[in-house]
Chains A and B, each alone.
Chain A
């Protein structure tokens, strides 16, 4: 049965990959890499996995090796963070375009410069249009649960897309938490054997990967990717349900916390969702009803669930741990606001950009956001559509 361990986020990710036992792990071993690959390489050295570890000379090569391995028919993984993700950019798109179900933990850290290695979401948010599914993890347990489910989601025949499982750099990656770990056999049975659809190594059925695809067919292939993302909405829910049967922990596209009938809502992704939960519990003691809407899947974007969740609320604040320079607001804010546009009842939605480069955010900060929401609800006026929470004026 399950065991309970105290582990950091990076340790959990490495342990989950050990249980998944991928055919190939390709990684660039030094910074901006995280401890995930270092810990996993010890498992390889100790013979605890069957994985072929490919040490490459850059992140660009790491993703290229994963693309090659996945095309060949292997279950391939890598892990990255921040500028490492930026360096593999070109191949990140190609992995999705070739419909290769690669799973990759991404430790959310700021993109330089100036040089910063601490948490924000600017790395993965930049990759939001790359065609990868994105699951944001709130804590160490969710890293574990999301990575296992990600394998099934990615490899589902109606999806066949790569998946990023993200978690907050340092706050979660280096924070030790209590994690429930299933038995190896349970995990391996849940993910099953990988049956690649068109493996290059199947020499009886030769296929060509990555040919020139010009104006005559490229558009059709992009349209297929749009559809696969749409299909992923149901698949993520379905696999979340199956995983609940195995682990007792259920997962959906979004998670709600707090009073179901509360009309003050904060939307957040990543570890800040946990901070919001803490704020909501304190507010409850103060007699204020509030609700969290946590984004677990940002790609595909669960607009129907979000609309449903916000149908009766009075005012919404969206927390963005990344800036979209020159845009109306942060990326989550833009999506939420756009999703609500055709709703009959107009709900004020405000944006808080926070925590860039690891700037700390605490329960008091979130309570300040809820106080702002109370004011907006009272006056019906939005003073600032986009707010910068925690920046010095």
Chain B
């Protein structure tokens, strides 16, 4: 997205449309990434209650993963999970592993 110049942005830092926080992907702030172990998860939704950024995806009463666009990686879900079903992995390591998998897949 190209950022607007001073003549085009609303005065005084005002935001003129509602719900625009959706466009601000705070997930880019994340250092640690929550990873769900589906085998351990009992869908108690304690993580959903604790998550300060509404980033736990729930469908039909089941924990379905994370909204990574908005999850800041605080790790509350991981700490509070009674079944140790959420692991926090360093983003850099996660990405490196992902890259590795891709390359292996190509071979």
Q: Which of A205, A206, A211 meets B13, CB within 8 Å? A: A211
Q: Flag if A98 contacts B15 (CB, 8 Å).
A: no
Residues of B within 8 A of A218 (CB): 13
Residues of A within 8 A of B17 (CB): 206
A46 interfacial contact with B, CB 8 Å: no
Bound together, the chains give a CA A160 to CA B12 distance in angstroms of 10
Q: Flag if A206 contacts B18 (CB, 8 Å).
A: yes
Q: Flag if A224 contacts B16 (CB, 8 Å).
A: no
Q: Taking the nearest CB of chain A, how far is it from the CB of B27, in angstroms?
A: 16
Residues of A within 8 A of B10 (CB): 198
A213 interfacial contact with B, CB 8 Å: yes
A residues 30-69 in Cβ contact with B at 8 Å = none
Residues of A within 8 A of B13 (CB): 97-98, 210-211, 213, 217-218, 221
Q: Which of B3, B11, B15, B20 meets A224, CB within 8 Å? A: B11
B61 interfacial contact with A, CB 8 Å: no
Q: A99-B11, A217-B9, A224-B11 are in contact. Are A198 and B4 (CB under 8 A)?
A: no
Contact with B along A159-203 (1 / 0, CB 8 A): 010000000000000000000000000000000000001100000
Residue of B nearest to A223 (CB): B6
Contact with A along B1-30 (1 / 0, CB 8 A): 001111001111111111010000000000
Contact with A along B40-72 (1 / 0, CB 8 A): 000000000000000000000000000000000
Residue of A nearest to B5 (CB): A220
Q: Taking the nearest CB of chain A, how far is it from the CB of B11, in angstroms?
A: 5
Q: Flag if B16 contacts A207 (CB, 8 Å).
A: yes
Residue of A nearest to B17 (CB): A206
Q: Flag if B5 contacts A207 (CB, 8 Å).
A: no
Bound together, the chains give a CA A54 to CA B15 distance in angstroms of 28
Q: Flag if B12 contacts A99 (CB, 8 Å).
A: yes
Q: Taking the nearest CB of chain B, how far is it from the CB of A212, in angstroms?
A: 9
Residues of B within 8 A of A99 (CB): 11-12
Q: Flag if B12 contacts A220 (CB, 8 Å).
A: no
18 A-B pairs whose Cβ atoms sit less than 8 Å apart in the complex: A98-B12, A99-B12, A100-B12, A160-B11, A160-B12, A198-B16, A206-B17, A208-B14, A209-B12, A211-B13, A213-B13, A217-B9, A217-B13, A219-B6, A221-B6, A221-B9, A223-B6, A224-B9
Q: Can you list the 9 inter-chain pairs with the closest CB atoms, starting with the nearest?
A: A208-B15, A99-B12, A220-B6, A223-B6, A206-B18, A213-B13, A98-B12, A99-B11, A221-B13
